[in-house]
Amino acid sequence: MVMKDYIGMVLSVLVAFLLYSLLAKISVSLLFLFNFFSLIVIYFALEKGEIYGAFLGAFCGLLQDSFSMSVFGVAGIAKTIVGYSAGYFSSKINVTPIRRNFVFVFLLLCVELIIWSVLYSFIFSERVNTGGGLIFFQPLITAVLGSLVYRFVRKLKSSKM
C-alpha cells in the first residue's frame, strides 16, 4: 500500500465524519438511514483486502463510538468483522458487477447491524433505538448508495487508465 492509498483512506474517513456531522445538522432521522463509516470500511476492504478492512473497521468503529455516550468497542467489533469479511469474501467471489456488489454490501451491512444490536442490547440491557423502524432501512439505503459510489469510483479509475 503506497502513501497515496493512505492519504485516500484518511480523506475518506474525514469525508464520512463530515457527512455524519452534516446529516446530524439536517435531521437526526437521517442518522438512522446512512452509515458512511461502514461504506468506507467495505470499500477499502474490497480494494485492499481483509487485513486493511479489519484495521480500518476497528478505527472507524471507535470513531463512531466517539460520537456516542456508548461504550467504546461496540461499533468497533461490528465494523472489524465486517471489514475483514468484506476483504476475505471479495477475494473468493467477484463482487464487481453492480447487482452482485449491491447484494454483497447489503448482506454485510445486515450482519453489522445484527452484531451491533446484539452487543448493544447485551451491554446496556436495553433495546436499541430503531428510530421508529428507520434503522431497518439502513442496510438497504446504505447499500444502494455504496454500490453507486463504488461503480462511480471504478469507472473514474478505469477512465484514468
Partner 1 sequence: MPFSLKKTKSLIILLSLIFFQFVLISIQVPRGDETNYFERVIFSVFSPINNGVVSVFRGIGSLWKGYFGLHRVQKDNQRLQKEVFRLNQENSLLRSMLRTSKSEKEMLDLLIELEGSVLPARIIGLDASNVWKSLVINKGSLDGVKKNMVVLDKQGHLVGRIVDPVTFKQARIQMITDTESGVYVIPQGKNVPGIINGIGNGQCNLEYIHATDTLIVEGDRLITTGFDGIYMPGVLVGHVVSVVENTSLFKEIKVVPAFKIQNLDLLAVITVDVNELF
Counting contacts by CB under 8 A, is residue 139 touching partner 1? no
Cβ closest to partner 1, residue 64 vs residue 90 = 64
Question: Where do we find the cell 458512511?
Answer: 36
| Measured distance CA(150)–CA(102) in Å, rounded | 10
Asked whether the beta carbons of 83 and 45 are under 8 A apart, the reply is: yes
The site that binds partner 1 (CB under 8 A) totals a number of residues, namely: 46
Report the residue number, 74 or 108, with the smaller CB distance to partner 1: 74
Q: What is the DSSP string of 26-93?
A: H-HHHHHH--HHHHHHHHHHHHH-HHHHHHHHHHHHHHHHHTSSS-TTHHHHHHHHHHHHHHHHHHHS
CB of 72 to partner 1, least distance (A): 5
HEC string for 110-121: HHHHHHHHHHHH
Which of 16, 105 has the CB closer to partner 1? Answer: 16
All residues at 6 or more sequence positions from 11 whose CB lies less than 8 Å from its CB, including other chains = none
Site for partner 1 in 81-120 (CB under 8 A): 81, 84, 88, 120
Q: Quick one: which of 2, 3, 69, 156 contacts partner 1 (CB under 8 A)?
A: 69
Name which of 32 and 150 has its Cβ closer to partner 1: 32
Query: CB under 8 A: which stretch of 68-76, 93-101, 104-112, 149-157 binds partner 1?
Result: 68-76
Chain residues binding partner 1 by CB under 8 A are 17-18, 20-22, 24-25, 27-28, 31, 49-51, 54-55, 57-58, 61-77, 80-81, 84, 88, 120, 123-124, 126-129, 131
